[in-house]
Structure 1
Amino acid sequence: MAGEARVPGQGAGSGAPWAVCIGESMAALLPDAPGPLDGVESFAVSAGGAESNVACALRALGVPSAWVSRVGADGFGRRLVGEVTRHGVDTSGVAVDAARPTGLYLKETGGSARAGDLGTGRSRLHYYRAGSAASAMSAATLREPAVARLVDGARLVHLTGITPALSETCLEMVRALLEAPRGDRLVSFDLNWRPVLWRDRDAGVLREFVNAADVALLGADEAELAFGTGDPAELRELFPGPATIVVKDAERVVTALTADGAVSEPALTVDVVEPTGAGDAFAAGYLAGTLHGYDQRRRLRMGHLAAASALVAHGDVGELGDLTTAELLDASEEQWRATRISADGTVIGAVRT
Structure 2
Amino acid sequence: MCVGESMAALLPDGPGPLETVGAFAVSVGGAESNVACALSALGVPSAWISRVGDDGFGRRLTGELAARGVDTSAVGIDPVLPTGLYLKETGGSAHSADLGTGRSKLHYYRRGSAASAMSAATLQEPAVARMLAEARVIHLTGITPALSETCFAMVRELLATPRGGRLVSFDLNWRPALWRDRDPAVLREFVNAADVAFLGADEAEAAFGTGDAHELRALFPGPATIVVKDAERVVTALAVDTEGGVTAVSEAALVVDVVEPTGAGDAFAAGYLAGTLHGFDQRRQLRLGHLAAASALVAHGDVGDLGDLARLALLDASEEQWSAARVTANGIEHGVEHGVEHGVEHGVRISGGISLGTVDEARTP
2-structure distance, mates of 1:99, 1:351: 54
Q: 1:170 to 1:79 in 2, by over 3 A?
A: same
Q: 1:88 to 1:321 in 2, by over 3 A?
A: closer
- Which one of 206, 230, 237 corresponds to residue 211 of structure 2? 230
Superposed displacement of residue 327, structure 1: 2.4
**For residues 1-353 of structure 1, what are the structure 2 equivalents within 5 Å?**
20-260=1-241, 261-323=247-309, 327-344=313-330, 346-351=331-336
Could you say which residue in structure 2 is the equivalent of 1:10? Answer: none
Q: Secondary structure at the match of 1:93?
A: coil
Superposed displacement of residue 323, structure 1: 2.6
Q: Secondary structure at the match of 1:77?
A: helix
Q: What one-letter code is carried by the residue in structure 1 that aligns with 2:336?
A: V
1-structure distance, mates of 2:307, 2:56: 30
Q: What one-letter code is carried by the residue in structure 2 that aligns with 1:105?
A: Y
Superposed displacement of residue 326, structure 1: 5.5
Q: What one-letter code is carried by the residue in structure 2 that aligns with 1:351?
A: V
Q: Secondary structure at the match of 1:45?
A: strand
Q: Is the 8 A contact 1:160 1:190 kept in 2?
A: yes
1-structure distance, mates of 2:114, 2:270: 25
Q: What one-letter code is carried by the residue in structure 2 that aligns with 1:154?
A: A
Q: What one-letter code is carried by the residue in structure 1 that aligns with 2:332?
A: V
Q: Is the 8 A contact 1:305 1:324 kept in 2?
A: no
Q: Secondary structure at the match of 1:304?
A: helix
Superposed displacement of residue 204, structure 1: 1.1
Deviation readout 1:232-290 (Å, 9 max, x if unpaired) = 00000000000000000011000000123100000000000010000000000000000
Superposed displacement of residue 320, structure 1: 1.3
Question: What is the Cα-based RMSD across aligned positions, in Å?
Answer: 1.1
1-structure distance, mates of 2:94, 2:118: 42
Q: Is the 8 A contact 2:311 2:332 kept in 1?
A: no
Q: So what's the TM-score if we normalise by structure 2?
A: 0.90
Q: What one-letter code is carried by the residue in structure 1 that aligns with 2:280?
A: Y
Q: 1:338 to 1:325 in 2, by over 3 A?
A: closer
2-structure distance, mates of 1:340, 1:207: 36
Q: Is the 8 A contact 1:306 1:324 kept in 2?
A: no
Unaligned segments of structure 1, at least 5 residues: 1-19
The number of residue pairs the alignment matches comes to 333
Superposed displacement of residue 93, structure 1: 1.2
Q: Secondary structure at the match of 1:56?
A: helix
Unaligned segments of structure 2, at least 5 residues: 242-246, 341-365
1-structure distance, mates of 2:312, 2:208: 37
Q: So what's the TM-score if we normalise by structure 1?
A: 0.93
2-structure distance, mates of 1:95, 1:232: 38
Q: Is the 8 A contact 2:120 2:157 kept in 1?
A: yes
Q: What one-letter code is carried by the residue in structure 1 that aligns with 2:322?
A: W
Q: Is the 8 A contact 1:338 1:351 kept in 2?
A: no
1-structure distance, mates of 2:199, 2:312: 26
Q: Secondary structure at the match of 2:75?
A: strand
Q: Is the 8 A contact 1:219 1:247 kept in 2?
A: yes
1-structure distance, mates of 2:211, 2:310: 28
2-structure distance, mates of 1:327, 1:144: 42
2-structure distance, mates of 1:324, 1:239: 36
Mean CA deviation greater in 230-239 or 255-264: 255-264
Q: What one-letter code is carried by the residue in structure 2 that aligns with 1:248?
A: K
Mean CA deviation greater in 206-215 or 257-266: 257-266
Q: What one-letter code is carried by the residue in structure 2 that aligns with 1:337?
A: S
Q: Is the 8 A contact 2:53 2:81 kept in 1?
A: yes
Structure 1 residue ranges (4+ consecutive) displaced by more than 2 angstroms after TM superposition: 321-327
Q: Secondary structure at the match of 1:315?
A: coil
Q: What one-letter code is carried by the residue in structure 2 that aligns with 1:286?
A: Y
Identity percentage of aligned residues: 78
Superposed displacement of residue 89, structure 1: 0.4
1-structure distance, mates of 2:157, 2:313: 41
Q: Secondary structure at the match of 1:307?
A: helix
Q: Is the 8 A contact 1:302 1:324 kept in 2?
A: no
2-structure distance, mates of 1:324, 1:232: 31
